[in-house]
């Protein structure tokens, strides 16, 4: 269960990443989310460094380009032996299918398992007003997320990234045989920052999240391990970390 609480390694460089890994007590049973900030600074080497520490890797680069480009990029990412990768669902069905092909080809050529392909629906920083006034979407937020999730499933994705507020409805509309990864996780007394659609770990779990991602409340804490354990306890409920 601890591996379903992913920690965002949204830090500036390798030194900070390894420090965070140490403060977490190592990577055994844990998943590190490596996003744009760290990957663009350090490249694939930092992924290997964290894997050597025992972390599973969620490589969150949110690819969004023409199908051919995305397919070739995913072929390269699959060779890293990571566990999850992301694309934007709004790239369309052909792009999502191309991403899946690239992952399968890269996994086959490297002899590694193919990473799970997760499609980002709407970012947790997007509100109803932004969706309507800036994205000019004719659907409301709930409908938009549902349609993007249905598209992702039809294209062969393994799951979606969505806010906790949409998970229960997605189970009804898309099904239980899909992976629902939920960012925007905050305790009730935490600052939400630039997140809009947030929830506690316990609520995300109750509503049907398969896994959650926690960033600043852990990686910017003055006591990283205690913060991690508090979030893990809330996610697991009465269970204790093994």
Q: Are 137 and 128 in contact (CB under 8 A)?
A: no
Q: Tell which wins on pLDDT, 193 or 74.
A: 74
**Model confidence at 242: pLDDT above 90:** no
Query: What is the predicted pLDDT for the residue at 3?
Result: 80
Is 219 labeled as ligand-binding?
Answer: no
Query: What is the predicted pLDDT for the residue at 119?
Result: 98
Integer CA distances (angstroms), 69 to 37, 91, 173, 190, in order: 21, 12, 31, 39
- Domain borders along the chain are 2-236
Is 50 labeled as ligand-binding?
Answer: no
Range with lowest mean pLDDT among 10-24, 86-100, 120-134, 195-209: 195-209
Say how many C-beta atoms besides its own lie within 10 A of residue 138's C-beta. Answer: 9
Is 234 labeled as ligand-binding?
Answer: no
Is 124 labeled as ligand-binding?
Answer: yes
Is 83 labeled as ligand-binding?
Answer: no
Distance CA 162, CA 110 (A): 30
**Mean confidence (pLDDT) of the chain:** 93
Range with lowest mean pLDDT among 64-68, 186-190, 215-219: 186-190
Q: Which DSSP state fits 115?
A: P
Which residues, in sequence order, are bridge partners of residue 159?
118, 179
Distance CA 105, CA 97 (A): 12
Q: Provide the annotated active-site residues.
A: 60, 62, 65
Q: Quick: pLDDT tens for 167-197.
A: 999 999 999 999 999 998 988 665 545 445 6
pTM: 0.92
Q: Which DSSP state fits 199?
A: B
Q: What mean pLDDT do residues 26-33 have? A: 96
What lies within 8 Å, CB to CB, of 35 at 6+ separation is 8, 9, 10, 60, 61
**Model confidence at 153: pLDDT above 80:** yes
Q: Quick: pLDDT tens for 18-27.
A: 999 999 999 9
Q: Are 107 and 77 in contact (CB under 8 A)?
A: no
Distance CA 27, CA 175 (A): 31
Is 48 labeled as ligand-binding?
Answer: no
Is 65 labeled as ligand-binding?
Answer: yes
**Model confidence at 1: pLDDT above 70:** no
What homologous superfamily is domain 2-236 in, according to CATH?
Answer: Aldolase class I (3.20.20.70)
């Amino acid at each position: 269960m601890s591996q379903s609480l992913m920690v965002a390694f949204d830090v500036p460089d390798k030194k900070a990443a390894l420090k965070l890994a140490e403060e977490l007590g190592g990577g055994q049973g844990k998943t590190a989310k490596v996003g744009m900030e760290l990957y663009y600074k350090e490249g694939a080497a930092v992924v290997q460094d964290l894997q050597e520490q025992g972390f599973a890797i969620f490589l969150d680069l949110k690819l969004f380009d023409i199908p051919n480009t995305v397919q070739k990029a995913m072929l390269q990412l699959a060779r890293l032996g990571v566990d999850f990768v992301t694309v934007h669902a709004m790239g369309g069905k052909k792009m999502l299918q191309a991403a899946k092909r690239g992952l399968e080809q890269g996994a086959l050529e490297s002899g590694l398992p193919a990473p799970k392909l997760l499609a980002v629906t709407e970012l947790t920083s997007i509100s109803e007003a932004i969706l309507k006034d800036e994205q000019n979407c004719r659907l409301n937020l709930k409908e938009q997320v549902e349609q993007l999730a249905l598209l992702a499933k039809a294209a062969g994705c393994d799951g979606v990234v969505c806010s906790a507020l949409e998970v229960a409805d997605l189970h009804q509309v898309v099904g239980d045989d899909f992976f629902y990864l939920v960012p925007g996780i905050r305790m009730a007394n935490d600052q939400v920052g630039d997140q809009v659609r947030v929830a506690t770990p316990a609520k995300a779990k109750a509503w049907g999240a398969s896994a959650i991602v926690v960033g600043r409340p852990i990686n910017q804490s003055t006591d990283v391990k205690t913060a991690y354990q508090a979030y893990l306890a809330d996610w697991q409920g009465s269970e204790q970390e093994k």
